[in-house]
Amino acid sequence: MIETLFYLLVGIIFWAYIGYPLVVLLRGMIWQKAYLCKPVTPGVSMIIACHNEDEGIEAKLNNILSLDYPGDLLEVIIASDGSTDKTEEIVNRYTSDRIRLICLPRGGKAAALNAAVTLASGEILLFSDANSMYREDAIRKIVQPFADMSVGGVAGNQVYRSAERTGIAADGENSYWNFDRILKIAQTRSGNVISATGAIYAIRRHLFQKVPEGVTDDFVTSTRIIAQKKRLVFEPEAICFEPVAGSAKAEFGRKTRVITRGLRGIIEMRELLNPFRYGFYTLQLFSHKVLRRLVVFPLIALAVISPFLWEKGWLFQGAILLQVAVYSAAIAGLVMSRFNLKSPRFLSVPFYFCMVNAAVVVAVYKILRGERIAIWSPARADDSSTNAREAPV
């Protein structure tokens, strides 16, 4: 009985981390579904919701003004969600026919986004974070797939830039994003990317639906494109640059918040888990956003039962030693980060793996308690962290 449970747990873990990615990569090579992609210049409304971003909002505005896109076809709407610092004062210095500021009472990111979209006039809505810096041609690249009317949304390519303060959390997150980028390309070749990241993604204006509170807004907004039977594709040449992750402690708090909101987003978009309506996309969504997030519980169960199988042979002994090696590396990385010691890169992946899974446990606990995260605050530089942002996990 215990051996059967062992094989079942290993099978679940294997599928989540190895089997599913291999299927996606293989499908991307064999089952290709092309779409039209050519230079077009539709009217674009860039939407930015922010709260207390005076440390970086001016750099963001200067970045916007330097972008290579026709000025008469690009409007920028910045929704200040009850900012109490100099954010609104700084933005006011840049307001013009192209850049608009709306000052809102504190209500959360969802409310700020919804308010901004009601004022948007562009055919395409482009969502961005206040700390995301776009490459000069990012907008031109992200709108090209909209030449195909079957495409309803385009996810851009979030790239982490170097920073003075990096660490084991940053190394781990970079490794994750590099792998995730490969999967996004394969998913797009054969159908739909699972979802977009809030740093850079665009959708057709008429497909936008009001964002509910307490969910990851980029996930819900982008997956609603698929629910409306349009394609959501990844454009690797539409590049924005993000600061790397900060301290392990700050990153753990961010991951917990993102996963909590992300799991609520899955609940909100549970209709997409119907394979009879959404086919292979349902398998992608379940494997990547549900199973991979909750695989921590099979991992815990495997760690508990494995010692009882030591006498059963080399296969079980190898599994035990592998677990010991991974978790020991993660602990070593944690200790080194606590003492601000430079960690070798080979510790970053085990550390990041364990940190994210620990954040899942906390997130599930919060959801079971009925907690919702509707209001967010950007992490400040003195926390060695980054500004508020959402990212796929």
Residues 245-268: tens digit of each pLDDT: 556 677 788 788 888 888 999 999
Query: Mean pLDDT over residues 334-359, rounded?
Result: 81
Query: The dihedral of CA 296, 297, 298, 303: what is its sign?
Result: positive
**Distance (Å, whole) CA 360 – CA 260:** 8
Q: Which of 272, 281, 126, 292 minimizes the C-alpha distance to 192? A: 281
Q: Which of 190, 198, 217 minimizes the C-alpha distance to 158? A: 198
**Distance (Å, whole) CA 28 – CA 183:** 9
**113: DSSP letter:** H
| Predicted local distance difference test score (pLDDT) of residue 161 | 72
| Predicted local distance difference test score (pLDDT) of residue 387 | 41
Return mean pLDDT, the chain: 88
| Predicted local distance difference test score (pLDDT) of residue 56 | 92
Residue 385, pLDDT above cutoff 70:
no
Query: The dihedral of CA 380, 386, 390, 393: what is its sign?
Result: negative
Q: Is 164 exposed, middle or buried (0-12, 13-18, 19+ CB in 10 A)?
A: exposed
| Predicted local distance difference test score (pLDDT) of residue 338 | 76
* Long-range contacts, stretch 58-65, CB < 8 angstroms, 24+ apart: 58/90, 59/133, 60/130, 60/131, 60/132, 60/133, 61/90, 61/91, 61/94, 61/99, 63/133, 63/134, 64/99, 64/134, 65/94
Query: Mean pLDDT over residues 154-165, rounded?
Result: 76
- Cβ 74 vs Cβ 139: under 8 Å: yes
- Cβ 187 vs Cβ 234: under 8 Å: yes
**Distance (Å, whole) CA 128 – CA 256:** 21
Query: Mean pLDDT over residues 158-187, rounded?
Result: 72
Residues 18-58: tens digit of each pLDDT: 999 999 999 999 988 999 999 999 999 999 999 999 999 99
Of the listed ranges 12-16, 30-34, 116-120, 331-335, the least confidently predicted one is 331-335
Banded pLDDT at 230 (limits 50, 70, 90): very high
Element (H, E) at 296: helix 296-305
| Predicted local distance difference test score (pLDDT) of residue 89 | 96
| Predicted local distance difference test score (pLDDT) of residue 165 | 46
DSSP 125-136: EEEE-TTPEEPT
Of the listed ranges 227-231, 267-271, 334-338, 355-359, the least confidently predicted one is 334-338
| Predicted local distance difference test score (pLDDT) of residue 164 | 43
Residue that is written with structure tokens 């674009």 in the block: 44
**CATH fold of the domain at 1-393:** Spore Coat Polysaccharide Biosynthesis Protein SpsA; Chain A (3.90.550)
Query: Mean pLDDT over residues 312-321, rounded?
Result: 93
Percent of the chain with pLDDT over 90: 70
Phi, psi of 158 (to 5 degrees): -85, 120
Burial string for 49-78 (b: 16+ CB within 10 Å, else e) reads bbbbbbbbbbebbebbeebebeeebbbbbb
| Predicted local distance difference test score (pLDDT) of residue 84 | 94
Residue 381, pLDDT above cutoff 60:
no
| Predicted local distance difference test score (pLDDT) of residue 352 | 85
Percent of the chain with pLDDT over 70: 88
Burial string for 365-376 (b: 16+ CB within 10 Å, else e) reads ebbeeeeebebb
Banded pLDDT at 169 (limits 50, 70, 90): low
Banded pLDDT at 105 (limits 50, 70, 90): very high
| Predicted local distance difference test score (pLDDT) of residue 188 | 96
| Predicted local distance difference test score (pLDDT) of residue 241 | 92
Residue 203, pLDDT above cutoff 50:
yes
Residue 386, pLDDT above cutoff 50:
no
Helix axes 168-190, 20-30, angle to 10 degrees: 40
Most confident option among 59-73, 255-269, 378-392: 59-73
Q: Is 89 exposed, middle or buried (0-12, 13-18, 19+ CB in 10 A)?
A: exposed
Q: Is 234 exposed, middle or buried (0-12, 13-18, 19+ CB in 10 A)?
A: buried
CA atoms within 13 A on the CB side of 153: 30
Of the listed ranges 47-51, 225-229, 284-288, 381-385, the least confidently predicted one is 381-385
Banded pLDDT at 392 (limits 50, 70, 90): very low
Residue 166, pLDDT above cutoff 70:
no
Query: Mean pLDDT over residues 380-390, rounded?
Result: 40
Q: Where are the chain's structural domains?
A: 1-393
**Tokens encoding 181:** 């980028």
| Predicted local distance difference test score (pLDDT) of residue 247 | 63
Q: Is 183 exposed, middle or buried (0-12, 13-18, 19+ CB in 10 A)?
A: buried
Residues 119-140: tens digit of each pLDDT: 999 999 999 999 999 999 999 9
Residue 270, pLDDT above cutoff 70:
yes
